[in-house]
C-alpha cells in the first residue's frame, strides 16, 4: 500500500526525527538519467502530510543546482530558545 510518492530520479534524505512537520529532501541523482534525458539538476523539499488523501507530496521549495548529487544527509543541528531543533542538510 502506497502512502505517498515522489516521481524523481533522486537521492533523498528525511528531516531529523525531532522536527515536525516531517520533510523529505530530494536532489537530482548523479550518474542517472530521467525518462526525458534532462541534464537539469535541482534540490527539492517536500512536506509529508498524511492527512492529505492524495499520493503526491506537497513541494515546499525547489532550488536549481549546477551539480547533481551522490549523497544527501539531513541531521539535527541545534535547539533554539523555544526548544525547537533546526537541521542542516549536507549535499555531496
Q: What tens digit of pLDDT does each residue of 15-64 get?
A: 987 777 889 999 988 877 767 777 788 999 999 998 999 999 999 999 99
Of 71, 66, 85, give the one whose Cα is nearest residue 25: 71
Does residue 72 fall inside a structural domain? Answer: yes
Q: What is the number of residues in the chain?
A: 92
Q: What is the pTM of this model?
A: 0.81
Q: Which of 88, 74, 87, 68 is nearest to 10 (CA)?
A: 68
Q: Indicate whether 1 belongs to any domain.
A: no
Residue 66 lies in a domain: yes
How many distinct structural domains can be found in the chain?
1
Instruction: Answer yes or no: is 57 within a domain.
Output: yes
Question: What average pLDDT does range 65-69 have in this prediction?
Answer: 88
Q: Is residue 23 part of a domain?
A: yes
Decide if 4 is inside a domain.
no
What is the domain range of residue 61?
10-91
Asked whether residue 3 is assigned to any structural domain, the reply reads no
Task: Please say whether the beta carbons of 9 and 26 come within 8 A.
Answer: no
Amino acid at each position: 500500500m502506497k502512502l505517498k510518492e515522489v516521481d524523481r530520479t533522486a537521492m533523498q534524505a528525511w528531516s531529523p526525527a525531532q522536527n515536525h512537520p516531517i520533510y523529505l529532501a530530494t536532489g537530482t541523482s548523479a550518474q542517472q538519467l530521467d525518462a526525458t534525458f534532462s541534464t537539469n539538476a535541482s534540490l527539492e523539499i517536500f512536506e509529508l502530510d498524511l492527512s492529505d488523501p492524495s499520493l503526491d507530496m506537497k513541494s515546499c521549495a525547489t532550488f536549481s543546482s549546477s551539480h547533481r548529487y551522490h549523497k544527501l544527509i539531513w541531521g539535527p543541528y541545534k535547539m533554539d530558545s523555544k526548544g525547537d531543533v533546526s537541521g542542516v542538510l549536507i549535499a555531496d
